[in-house]
Amino acid sequence: MSHDDRSTPSSPARSSRRTLRRSGATLAVGILAAGVIIPATGATAVSSTTAANGAVWQIHDAAPPGLDTGSIRTVSQSRVDGFGNIFVTVTGASNPRFNGEMMRGFGLTATADGAAYDTTQSVDLGGIDITRDITMGNADSTARYFDTFTNTTNAPVTVDVSFGGSLGYGTTTNQGLVRATADGDTTVAPTDSWALVANTQATQRPVGVVLGSPAPFAGAMNRTGNQQRSPFTNPMATAGNEANFYGFINTITVKPGETRSLARFVHVGAAGPDAATSQASATTTLQTLAATPNFAGLTPAEICTVSNWDLTTIQGFDAAACAPSTKLDVPASPAAVKPTTTSRYDVVNKTITEMQADMTAGRTTSVAIVQAYLDRINVYDDGQFGFNAFLHVAADALDQAKAADAARAAGATGDLLGVPIALKDLYDTKDQPTTGGTRALEGWQPDSDAFQVEKLRAAGAVLIGKTNLSEFANSGSFSESGWGQVWNGLYGSKTSFGSSGGSAVAVATSMAAGAMGTQTGVSLYAPTTGSSLTTFRGTDGMASTRGVMPLTWGQDYAGPIARTVSDLAVLLNATTGTDPLDMLTAQADARKPADWKTALSTQALQGKRIGYLPTSFVSSYADDGTGEAALAHLADLRAAGATVVEMPAPPSGGSNPARNVSQEGWALYIEEQTGFPYADGNALLASPKVLPYNQRSLSTAPRMTPENVQAYIDYRTNYKRIIDAWMAEQGVDAVVYPGFISDVFNNDASSSQLSSDRATGVLTSTVGLPTVVVPVGLNPHGYSMSMQLVGPSWSDASVLGMGYALEQQTKAQVLSTLAPALALDPSVPVEPTEPPVPPVDPTTPPVDPTTPPVEPQPSATAVPIPNIPADAGSTPKPGASGSLSTTGSEIGPWFVAAFALMFAGAAATFIRRRRRSASE
């Protein structure tokens, strides 16, 4: 049974996203049915509930964006920022993928009154079925978490569970420190039944956690951990930024066929009138809950499984009546997808250049490559631990691949011919939905391609699908759309960043060879840094944004994300240049190189002067050593031949005259469309289907006047001149900035501070300057870091070359371990190691060994080249001037491609017939 055919209940958000992505159950065998879009479910986004004290809780359930962790995204007037999640490690017969990571995928569904969130499917971690149910006590602003662990194996399993999250950030007024505990001090220990956390702001609500009966006894809280950084190996900090990250750990042993559970309470107190009063009131509530926990609604059998409370002390409960072992009736976990592929070609960590070389040499085909990616998407992108990188997978991906193979067999060449590229779901595609990540555009499919999409098709790329993003590209911190939230491909519990998170994760996890994203502020470089990849943001106008949904007209940039700078050059060759219908690109053809690959040289930094601003390497709140580590990587520039010089602060660009640039962007976009479902951007952004925290009131903001437009263009043009002059005065060829200056944080928070800290004042998007991003290594805690090289306007090729030289100097890309290579499906016939020996025809006379062999003669047959354009500047094969002469070395690749197509067609026909027969 395929991943999309399970009968097990799934979340409304994910179920709808799967249908958006593709219909049919044949992805794993390579036959995609037509993509179908269904109406949105009635679920609202990030379910909320309001307590009697006015605190508004947002719970991450299965409603859009469907993070489905059960953690608290935020509570009004508090520094709760992704709290109540659980990290789980199982120790037993298996070491499952995502062992030790944040659990998700419970199908948590809010009751009609918002008083409870119920699990509809278990999460299977190494044979332990995990559920979590949340009961809201709005009268006292308290949530009860009831987490169960059922052993479905035939051996005992030890389970470590860390409950917690983030209750502040930094080291000043937003820092959440322990203010009180059950034993009277401010240090959380196993002997504490509760702890209270608060910052110094009287208007901020204190937060308390009831942990269970105090130790010592089996199952009690036994230690603390850092919930942002491997809580089972890193203890809770008591000072600095990391003191905000709380993890409370319990260890339980679960017998075969047994359920054990943990019950904890989170209380959010009143805001004011002063800190002392609100903390005292919260302390009283915590003391009451610790003495008489509210287990209302739990059955006696459920209470009997609770491991972190001494049940003999629970008033009114007969612990002696509990059976020695109890198994609760929990919902089943979804059937696992077999981690297999039907393709013999391994695409894991392959570059575009490597795959193209393999296709050119006849070692593989586009069909085999695309099939490998489709199988990986099927296994790794959906499900409870899916990355959620794709919103839609092209129904005709294999047909595109077959056309590319046929074109190659007929003599076509090109760096992108047959290479699967993913597109951020802001790029218009005439054959796939374009939603901008919002349910308000569910069902929308343009009738034409974006300019860059047209150029990718012309280059022969296979457009494998549309990637997830933050809705409307609003966020640089998280990629949360109405269809799901993207998870980091390197670090299983972390944010992918935004807004191009799906594009970056698709490449990092080898679900696409390269991808296209966009950047208004940080939306190319943040997800790229978080995925240890490369990206390039050109000078304003180097690439067209026509047919790309806008965020801010005039500042938006649409560009590539790739595994290497060499791959960036390939994508830039296909996507940059003047678009006659985009006035901002008028200079592109004159300014871009004829071939971006010619800019790639290991000597590109030799003799260059690179400036840096010391303040850009200093975080405003994080103190984990990332900024210092990034600063140390200036040595890589020096090792590559550059001189690094300190720079003064850059000059200002003056007053920004921008007026309603968002509305101008939407107006220009809608003018290009036929049948767009909204009159203007105002109406779209006010749709009730937009995520609540992105939704705007219906406004009548007007378009920019021609004078406004020209003033804005003049402002950005002049700003470039100012910065160009500043660089020239300092005698530098580029300025270097770090990617991140803090750790990468968990995926369930709401504030940007709890995604990561990034260098401030980077002169890239705000000015519109060429920027290349390159991985340079790891920070002290093992998270990926990058450097950004920013050059003066129209120095794009030079900047790309410097990025290449830095990349070759560091060779520091971090590879994902969360999406390993797939095993070959056992149904695929074994490939013979030697060519089969044909049977001997008894009527054929024996060969005389003294007779010289006959040399093969050139065939006079010419195969017409299909009307699929090759890459601009590509070199045709020898003798291929409008036709392909099938002689000599040409016959090998042609025969391989033809045989692959024949085999794929036969297999598809067989599978279709078998499925039809089974259904009949």
Under DSSP, the state recorded for 313 is G
Q: Are 474 and 438 in contact (CB under 8 A)?
A: no
- Please report, as a single letter, which amino acid is at residue 244: N
> Other CB atoms closer than 10 Å to residue 802's CB: what's the count?
28
d(CA 552, CA 192): 51
Task: Provide the token pair at 460.
Answer: 């022969």
Distance CA 257, CA 519 (A): 51
Sort strands 771-778 and 784-790 into parallel, antiparallel or unpaired.
antiparallel
Residue 523: active-site member: yes
Distance CA 793, CA 809 (A): 25
Closest CA to 80 of 166, 145, 144: 166
Phi-psi region of 913 (alpha: psi -120 to 50; beta: other; left: phi over 0): alpha
DSSP annotation of 495 reads B
CA 348, chain centre distance (Å): 17
Q: Is the peptide bond before 446 cis (omega within 30 degrees of 0)?
A: no
Q: Which of 78, 230, 481, 499 is catalytic?
A: 499
The tokens describing 716, both together, are 């950005």
Q: At what angle do helices 796-810 and 565-575 cross, to 10 degrees?
A: 160
Alpha helices of 364-500 — where are they, by DSSP H?
366-380, 397-409, 451-458
In DSSP terms, 116 is beta-bridged to 135
Q: Which of 350, 402, 424, 592 is catalytic?
A: 424
Query: 33 with 408: CB under 8 angstroms?
Result: no
Q: Which residues contact 421 (CB under 8 A, 6 or more apart)?
A: 456, 461, 462, 463, 464, 512, 513, 514, 515, 516, 571
DSSP strands (E only) in 414-546: 420-424, 462-467, 480-481, 484-485, 514-519, 534-537
Q: Omega before 65 cis (within 30°)? A: yes
Largest CA distance in the chain: 107
**DSSP symbols for 722-735:** HHHHHHHHHT-SEE
Helices (H), 336-396: 352-360, 366-380
> Which one of 523, 755, 756, 795 is the catalytic residue?
523
Q: Token pair for residue 411? A: 């003599």
Task: Report CA-CA distances (Å) from 408 to 411, 867, 869, 883.
Answer: 5, 12, 11, 12
343 is catalytic: no
Of 228, 232, 227, the closest CA to residue 250 belongs to: 232
Q: Which of 159, 128, 161 is nearest to 327 (CA)?
A: 128
Name the residue among 41, 21, 15 with its Cα closest to residue 33: 21
Q: Are residues 659 and 708 in contact, defined by beta-carbon separation less than 8 angstroms?
A: yes
Bond from prior residue into 620 cis (ω within 30 degrees of 0): no
Short-list 484, 383, 338, 388, CA closest to 8: 383
**Selection from 95, 84, 94, 216 nearest residue 161 by Cα:** 84
Question: How far is it, in rounded angstroms, from Cα 231 to Cα 211?
Answer: 16
To the query of whether residue 2 is one of the catalytic residues in this protein, the response is: no
Catalytic residue numbers read 424, 499, 523
